Amino acid sequence: MYFRHIEDESAASPATSPSPPELTRRQFLQLTSLAGSGLTLGILLPGCGSQPGAGSVAGPLTMPFLRIAPDNTVTVISKHLEAGQGVWTGLPAIVAEELDASWAQMRVESAPAEVPTYQNLAFVPMGAHAQLTGGSTAVANSWQQLREAGATARAMLVAAAAARWAVPATDITVSEGVVSHAGTGRKATLGELAGAAAKLPVPANVPLKNPTDFKIVGNEKLPRLDARAKSTGKQQFAIDVMLPEMMTAVVMRPPRFGARVSSFDATQAKAVAGVVDVVQIPRGVAVVGRDMWSAKKGREALSVTWDESDAEKRGTTELMKEYRALGRGKEALTVKEVGEADAALAHAVKRVEGEFEFPYLAHATMEPLTAVCRLSPDKCEIWAGCQFQTGDQAAAAAAVGLKPEQVTINTLAAGGTFGRRA
């Protein structure tokens, strides 16, 4: 069964992420194995996995973040969602810097939903082993991982060149993706050396660049890797995914938060050509069609009566009045306090007060929330702009009666998040 769900009213609630699986020796060998004649780099990085003990992070974990292909492309495996904030440029820039690669050869693709391998390290100290993007943590929690990945790959490529040319590794330089030996005039691309490098042992504690030598990281003129695709319409979003015999579902949602379906009449909706079925779901009524337009027309013809007895009926005026009361009451939250403010104000010659109000805003993304699902008896595959991959994986597994490991998440680019995707 192929199924598309287009959600344009509200976001689904995240489910709890499953416990992180243990990395077995077999998985380690698989992650560090030779892929074709290219180099798929799995490196040991401290502080990336969890082991029993007082909530601390300890022990090594294989982290495959980088692939160098024979065609000389360098692909960074991003564990984070690109939603317009630029991580599909920022993360490859970190690798390219340490690798001394040419920016033109850099590529990026999304990592699968897998913890602890691709967990967000920023949330591990809080006990959260989850793969998610949020809180401006993508670059910060990936910084050391990706620097070490790039530096380690560079060291292995240099070692491969030194062995091939029978020269000291210290006499070899790397610049713009070209490995060179000045004494003999020999040169090779990263792709040409990748196969040989993949057969070498992975070095430990490879030195990193001095930040004063950075050429790519911090370069304000660095072009975004996804700029051309997004400018020409070639960037794939979930709504672009088309599968054979795929059906589309759109949802009629309540006009107020907390409202429920009292009853609905699907007679006219089912009369629309292409509409397959109309189904009540916990958050509304779904119209299933053979294509988006038939489903959308079916929803327009649907008649729903809403039970608003428990719905939110307050408007901006009432909400702001309540917010002011909360802010001035005894239980008001003090964000920061420095010195003796009350005493200072009591003796102040002049007092200046300011009140700032921010209204409730719609989490209106540029891209309609969309997900594509291919379901079989023992497997579920999803294409979506996932901000919380392991949460989405667990939620999908619960919805279709499978285990999380039976759900494959393909994370695509997203047109904004604004609190709707997590």
**DSSP conformation letters of 154-178:** HHHHHHHHHHHHTS-GGGEEEETTE
Q: Structure pTM?
A: 0.80
Residues 374 and 277 in one domain: yes
Residue 5: helix, strand or coil by DSSP? strand
The token pair at 240 is: 């672009």
Residues 292 and 167 in one domain: no
Residues 264 and 381 in one domain: yes
Residues 273 and 396 in one domain: yes
| Residuewise pLDDT in 10s, the chain (422 residues) | 556 666 554 333 333 333 333 444 333 333 333 334 566 665 544 334 333 233 333 222 234 899 999 999 999 999 999 999 999 999 999 999 999 999 999 999 999 999 999 999 999 999 999 999 999 999 999 999 999 999 999 999 999 999 999 999 999 999 999 999 999 999 999 999 999 998 899 999 999 999 999 999 999 999 999 999 999 999 999 999 999 999 999 999 999 999 999 999 999 999 999 999 999 999 999 999 999 999 999 999 999 999 999 999 998 889 889 988 888 888 888 888 899 988 999 999 999 988 888 877 777 888 888 999 999 999 999 999 999 999 999 999 999 999 999 999 999 999 999 887 87
How many separate domains does the chain show? 2
Domain that holds residue 193: 32-229
Beta strands in 57-169 (DSSP E): 60-68, 74-78, 106-110
The enclosing domain of 278 has a CATH number of 3.90.1170
Cα separation, 66 vs 149, whole angstroms: 7
Helix or strand (DSSP H, E) at 2: strand 2-7
Instruction: Please work out, in degrees rounded to the nearest 5, the angle formed at the alpha carbon of residue 379 by the alpha carbons of 238 and 132.
Output: 50
Q: What are phi and psi of 179, to 5 degrees?
A: -95, 125
In a domain, 349, yes or no: no
Domain limit, last residue, from 229, 247, 276: 229
Q: What are phi and psi of 204, to 5 degrees?
A: -110, 155
